[in-house]
Structure 1
Amino acid sequence: MSDTAQTLTMQDIADLARVRRPVVSMWRKRPIARGEAIPFPSPVRVVSGVEHFDRTAIVDWLQRTGRGNNSEADLDAPALSAPDDAELEELVTLLCLATETGVELAETTTQDRHKLATNLDPQDEFLRREVEAMTPSPATVRFIDDLIEASFGAAEALDRLEHGRVGRAIGVRDLTAEAIDLVRHITASCGLHLDTEGTPLVHAGEATQLTLKLAADFNHVVVTSDRSQQRALRRRATIRGIATTSEPTSPHVRILSTVGAEPRRALDAVDELIIDLAASELAVILGPAAVLCDDLPGELEQNRSQTLRSGNLVLALRLPRGLWQEAHRQPLGLWVCAGGVSRDRPLVADLAAVGDNELDAGDLVADVTGALESERARAYRYLRPHDLTQILSSRLPVVPRGIRALQLATKAVKEHLARINAATLVTGEPVPPFDVLADAAPGSRLVRRHSLGELSDRKQLVVKRGSRIDRAHAHPAGSVPVVSASVGGELFALDPLDTVRLYPRAARTEPGDVVFTERPRPAAFVDDVGGSMVASPSRILRIKPGTGIGPHATAAIINRRSDGTAEWRTWNVPIVDAELIEQLEHALTAATQYETRLRKHLAAVDDLVSAMIDGVAAGAVTLTVPRKE
């Protein structure tokens, strides 16, 4: 097949169908669709070990089989079939030329494109020299026209390029969306601190994607260099409709990312940026936590100390792990530096030590604003002062692991007292003793055992499956409990009307039924009240009278299983004489109630210990243990 612009790889097909890549492999192995054998198209070529499929055949196959989640696959397909020999920057350059001039490139000659580039970029700031140096193939030029036609605007066309086949070939993984949001909140607060009417964002370093994603919060982007990466940034900014200039005006915010850079090179870039900071300028620096936050060996630590001696560091943050897709276990660090100031106590925080539910963007922005305004009397949510002199003289880490704001000691006196009092209401109650009088039985007998499978086959017990019940249907005032053996009781409750309407065939327990589960470990309890719905994988075990074993004995045996056998039909229970079953059940019921009280007291003791430690550490309470008379 000669037309290299008309093929799709397996990943392209997955993107086109909006499914995961393994799903396409499964489709190839299962040609039956809608009851008809529709074989998956065969590859037309293999390029560097990657199979390529005819685009038209793939689109036709998706339409005939109805597979995938994209009803407009025929419209999106042209945007995914990039030429194999095209490079990303070549395509971005042609996309910029086409979107800014509005000309279909397939209808132009090389000389036409040169003239268009000269008219669009007469000063050769971002485009002209690249267009004059390239000789794109007809397939490449036609692909750009197809890409624009298939996309909802120029910005989406650029996204398709950077996340498509050509972008994947580069293999560079960007920051996660969570990382971008976090940096955006901080840079935006820096810009508002300088001027509420808006400020420019000055690009530093080589991380073009980060700058573009932050640009929406600023008046325009300043790109001072004419190197190839900076020109690439200008092209992308032009496609996205972001204004750029080459001369910064004050005040402004500088953004530098050294993520992925070698430590020495990263420190040199940070030092160069801080030296150039003038008054009324702020810099946001993102890089590896190992460079910006942690201990450094030998000469690297000396280089960082030399940079910090300027006193420009306002705050330093260690960010949670997982924010860099290239190495999700490597934490990142962030500095905010201010020109024309000297801070002897920068504010620091280890956000990795803050729980996911505790990190609030609004509070973090408020802390950053307070740090920029040098509000020493402010009560910070996350930030804590760190002595710069100690960092430099004692070679301490810039952001010690786990450091966060000190909490006001008496902040929650009532809360601490309430926790302690609630726990002592339980632990202060006496636990009634549990005793059983046992006498020797007259004679001995052979112990008879039967498996639950045998008893089921004899119709002496019935096992019913639980139901898949959606927790979203729970009702705060519901009166139909949904129970599970895994938790030993109620999960949530349903409204009676919802129960009848949504789960008309779900089995309900009767008084004395055993609710049990096989996984992840055998567990059971007796529902003495009945009327409950059972959430799968738990099941209902209903023992008929005269079986020779009672429900509480059965539940106790299941709970004490330790042989690892998961199949309930193989579980053995002893058969007891009828006159002894009631005695055993009564004793086991009392034992279960005693165990429940003990567990309640143990849980209260655990809560009490935590509450006492937290209360005393916060300076909110004092403790006195009454002496025994």
Structure 2
Amino acid sequence: MTAPHIELAASDIARALDVQRPLISMWRSRYAGSPHPFPEGDRVTSHDLQAWLAHTDRLPDRVGPVLALHGELVVRGLNAQIVDDGVEALLVLARLSGEALGSLGAAGVHSLADDIDPDDRSLTSEILALGGSAGAVANLVATMLDAVPDAGAALEVRRRRSHPSPELATAAAETVTRLALALAEWEPGAAARFHDSFPAEGALPAAMPAAAGGWDLPELSTPPLGEGRAARRLRRRLLAHGWLLRELPEGDPEPGELTVSDLTGVADPEEALTAAERIALSLPEGSRAVVLGRASALVARLDGAADSVRADLLRSGRVRAIARTPAGWVPGRSREISAIWVLGDPMDGMPLAKRRTTLVDLGPLAAPGGTLPYGVVNDLVTDVLAAVEGLESMARHAFARSRVVLTSRLLAKGGDLLAGLPDRSVSRAGANRDRVAEVGELVRATHREGQEALPLRVEAHDGAAAREVSVADLVARGALRAFPGNRRPERLGLVEGGGIGLVSAADVAAGVLDQSESLRTTAAELGQRMPAARLTEPGDVIIATAPRPAAVLDVAGGHVVLAPARVLRPVPGKGVAGGAVVHAVHAAGAQDKRWRAWQIPVLAPDQAQELHEASLAIERRRIEAREELLRMNAVAAGLVAGMSVGTMRISSTTDEGMAGGQAR
């Protein structure tokens, strides 16, 4: 029997090596007459490709697992569909069992599959179909997991071979997930219970765990998924991403579950609205739902039966919030605009004339690609929470982005539900002029006797809004470097004053470095006890996530950061400024401890450098102000203490200023 092996097309090679596909064609042409021509054929084996990469000094470290993950696994005697399904099943088996599959052999893998899936709902048949090759295929699956240890992420990479574009953009998954978690009142460590009435191919629930930043044993209930290959693939996809899957015979959500459904795959407006109506009517009392769909159904002008279904839903009072989202949330249909409906209990007993619905157009707030700034999503979440609580909550809440309208007026005007909605988002005219004038005045106010104003000139500028990029992506792009904090040894000698400052998470939370109570050590002690310790550099940002996200800009550098605090270091020329990082961290929610997901604005490189210098100057002023405040506090305390015991008296002078007292 020929051993299973990996073959790659040009598109597979490009994805695996993270290069443009035309580069593969160029390699074929350039090296055609050389001693080491590029491997021939439309598909090349991983072995031949690695050999060529090594001969031409292009072989990346540990490229074998990456090629295995992106390529087609070929098993003699088995068709591609059987092999692909078997690979998916083995990825799920690895996730559910926690076993290292590569050492089990065919019989061991078969036995383990039967133990994990005794009713053969998702993976047993697929693994048995591999026959005697199951052990060798399992070994290659273990190699794939060396490239991407998370089975869900690995399965999504495999799916991209037949689905080049993701079904949902990251911005869509993150926004819907944050809404869902807030509406479910979820906190880290608590159970996460969701329901999906229309899971389709599972794109939204597959994306939610990564968007949430991880959670413990999330539960997802669905209607019965049925049998057949599509149903089994859906189960495998959900299981690979860590969901505890329950198929409810009646299909309706249970109390305590929050419904999240993606209807963007439903093109017909009447069909989509009928599905949304079914979701609304199935909600238990006190339950809520987040529905993502096409704006052509949920927001745009409608006629006929579709318009009637939508009007009935709005009239019921179940549609509490409506948001039109940016284009690009469905990458395969990049120009299509989506919308979000948030559903809740009907406003029973309240006449239609008093019912309210909140509306917001998120399109003008988005960066290219449909990404929403972190603060905008925060505003959306707080506005939605107020909307679902009822009229009293809406009356108390200062809506940041949304507009509250009478539902009756929404029904009466017809047409696009958001047409004519006043723009409360980011006007590039008046609001920006006001901000420039305000900041300019604040800069001028920093001038006082004996102190120059901050060396800044603030001018109006009609430029593009900064893109917001996650810390993880900035690190991957080389625009930001991340360093973990150092573990403090038990016997580290400390000194008072001088030496090298040790920065703890408590120092970061306080926003102050080198406090009087901060720990310090000597260079000799550091070299002996912590020889691998890394010192901060000027402009580094020191972050901590507990008790809430916090950050401080290190002006002078030369500190040792203690775990669990860590360092983020902007790379010059990449558009990231330390001051922007600090501001973004402080803008994160109190419970948002997923530091890799924090969104950082990326500026033009020259402006990032200007902001970097300005932030350092501002931080120096803050340090001086804190020191002055500490001195004033000490003077006040000393005066009170000395005069209270009768050992001091004071007098003021107008010529010399405050004079020192005399002890008696």
Query: Could you say which TM-score interval applies, normalised by the shorter chain?
Result: 0.5 to 0.7
1:163 and 2:163 are equivalent in the alignment: no
Query: CA 1:17 to 1:131, structure 2 compared with 1: closer, same or farther past 3 Å?
Result: closer
The count of corresponding residues between Structure 1 and Structure 2 is 417
Q: Deviations over 1:335-379 (max 9, x none)?
A: 000135458211011111335487622222222222222322222
Could you say which residue in structure 1 is the equivalent of 2:361? 350
SS at match of 1:382: coil
- Superposed displacement of residue 255, structure 1: 0.8
1:388 to 386, 407, 415: 407
Q: Deviations over 1:439-496 (max 9, x none)?
A: xxxxxxxxxxxxxxxxxxxxxxxxxxxxxx969799x9xxxxxxxxxxxxxx89999x
SS at match of 1:320: strand
CA contact (8 A) 1:220 1:244 kept: yes
Give the AA of the match of 2:62: E
Give the AA of the match of 2:176: V
How is 1:98-497 mapped onto 2 (pairs within 5 angstroms)?
98-101=94-97, 102=99, 103-104=101-102, 107-108=105-106, 115-128=111-124, 130-131=125-126, 135-136=129-130, 142-152=136-146, 156-164=150-158, 167-170=160-163, 173-192=166-185, 197-205=190-198, 206-215=200-209, 216=214, 219-228=218-227, 231-246=232-247, 249-263=254-268, 264-342=270-348, 344-354=355-365, 356=367, 360-374=376-390, 375-377=393-395, 378-400=397-419, 403-405=422-424, 415=434
Could you say which residue in structure 2 is the equivalent of 1:559? none
Q: Which has the higher contact order (CA 8 A, sep 6+)?
A: 1
- Superposed displacement of residue 278, structure 1: 1.7
SS at match of 2:343: strand
Q: TM-score, normalised by structure 2?
A: 0.55
Higher Rg: 1
Q: Distance in 2 between matches of 1:56 and 1:104?
A: 19
SS at match of 2:285: coil
1:72 to 58, 62, 69: 62
CA contact (8 A) 2:69 2:147 kept: no
Query: CA 1:494 to 1:79, structure 2 compared with 1: closer, same or farther past 3 Å?
Result: closer
Could you say which residue in structure 1 is the equivalent of 2:23? 23
Deviates more, 1:11-20 or 1:140-149: 140-149
Query: CA 1:52 to 1:105, structure 2 compared with 1: closer, same or farther past 3 Å?
Result: farther
Q: Deviations over 1:85-136 (max 9, x none)?
A: 3234443223323554534598325xx76654442223455444x448x623
Identity within the alignment, %: 21
Q: Distance in 1 between matches of 2:226 and 2:117?
A: 16
Q: Distance in 2 between matches of 1:416 and 1:172?
A: 40
SS at match of 1:19: coil
SS at match of 1:319: strand
CA contact (8 A) 2:106 2:133 kept: no
- Superposed displacement of residue 5, structure 1: 3.5
- Superposed displacement of residue 180, structure 1: 1.5
- Superposed displacement of residue 309, structure 1: 2.8
CA contact (8 A) 2:152 2:242 kept: no
CA contact (8 A) 2:186 2:192 kept: no
Could you say which residue in structure 2 is the equivalent of 1:92? 88
Query: CA 1:154 to 1:14, structure 2 compared with 1: closer, same or farther past 3 Å?
Result: closer
Query: CA 1:153 to 1:373, structure 2 compared with 1: closer, same or farther past 3 Å?
Result: farther
Query: CA 1:402 to 1:67, structure 2 compared with 1: closer, same or farther past 3 Å?
Result: farther
- Superposed displacement of residue 8, structure 1: 1.3
The unaligned stretches of length 5 or more in structure 1 are 44-50, 423-468, 477-490, 499-629
CA contact (8 A) 2:326 2:366 kept: no
Q: Distance in 1 between matches of 2:246 and 2:346?
A: 24
CA contact (8 A) 2:85 2:126 kept: no
CA contact (8 A) 1:5 1:83 kept: yes
Q: Distance in 2 between matches of 1:494 and 1:292?
A: 44
- Superposed displacement of residue 150, structure 1: 3.3
Give the AA of the match of 2:377: A
CA contact (8 A) 2:266 2:272 kept: yes
Query: CA 1:208 to 1:492, structure 2 compared with 1: closer, same or farther past 3 Å?
Result: closer
Q: Distance in 1 between matches of 2:246 and 2:326?
A: 34
CA contact (8 A) 2:326 2:362 kept: yes
Deviates more, 1:192-201 or 1:225-234: 192-201
- Superposed displacement of residue 393, structure 1: 3.8
Could you say which residue in structure 1 is the equivalent of 2:473? none
CA contact (8 A) 1:188 1:217 kept: no
CA contact (8 A) 2:294 2:339 kept: yes
CA contact (8 A) 1:223 1:246 kept: yes
Q: Distance in 2 between matches of 1:186 and 1:367?
A: 10
Q: Distance in 2 between matches of 1:383 and 1:211?
A: 27
- Superposed displacement of residue 199, structure 1: 4.3
Could you say which residue in structure 2 is the equivalent of 1:62? 53
Q: Distance in 2 between matches of 1:473 and 1:170?
A: 33
Deviates more, 1:212-221 or 1:362-371: 212-221
Give the AA of the match of 1:384: R
Give the AA of the match of 2:398: A
Q: Deviations over 1:252-305 (max 9, x none)?
A: 210111112122322221111111112121110001111111111222211222
CA contact (8 A) 1:384 1:404 kept: no
Q: Distance in 2 between matches of 1:170 and 1:493?
A: 37
Q: Distance in 2 between matches of 1:369 and 1:246?
A: 29
CA contact (8 A) 1:114 1:131 kept: no
SS at match of 2:290: strand
CA contact (8 A) 2:302 2:415 kept: no
Q: Deviations over 1:604-624 (max 9, x none)?
A: xxxxxxxxxxxxxxxxxxxxx
SS at match of 2:168: coil
Q: Deviations over 1:558-605 (max 9, x none)?
A: xxxxxxxxxxxxxxxxxxxxxxxxxxxxxxxxxxxxxxxxxxxxxxxx
- Superposed displacement of residue 189, structure 1: 1.3
Give the AA of the match of 1:176: A
Q: Distance in 1 between matches of 2:296 and 2:432?
A: 39
- Superposed displacement of residue 15, structure 1: 2.7
Query: CA 1:415 to 1:340, structure 2 compared with 1: closer, same or farther past 3 Å?
Result: closer
CA contact (8 A) 2:102 2:142 kept: no
- Superposed displacement of residue 61, structure 1: 0.4
Query: CA 1:281 to 1:105, structure 2 compared with 1: closer, same or farther past 3 Å?
Result: farther
Give the AA of the match of 2:117: D
CA contact (8 A) 1:173 1:325 kept: yes
CA contact (8 A) 2:106 2:132 kept: no
CA contact (8 A) 1:223 1:234 kept: no
SS at match of 1:254: strand
Q: Deviations over 1:396-440 (max 9, x none)?
A: 433336544499xxx999949968x99xxxxxxxxxxxxxxxxxx
Could you say which residue in structure 1 is the equivalent of 2:641? none
Q: Distance in 1 between matches of 2:85 and 2:206?
A: 16
Q: Distance in 2 between matches of 1:303 and 1:11?
A: 45
Deviates more, 1:367-376 or 1:339-348: 339-348
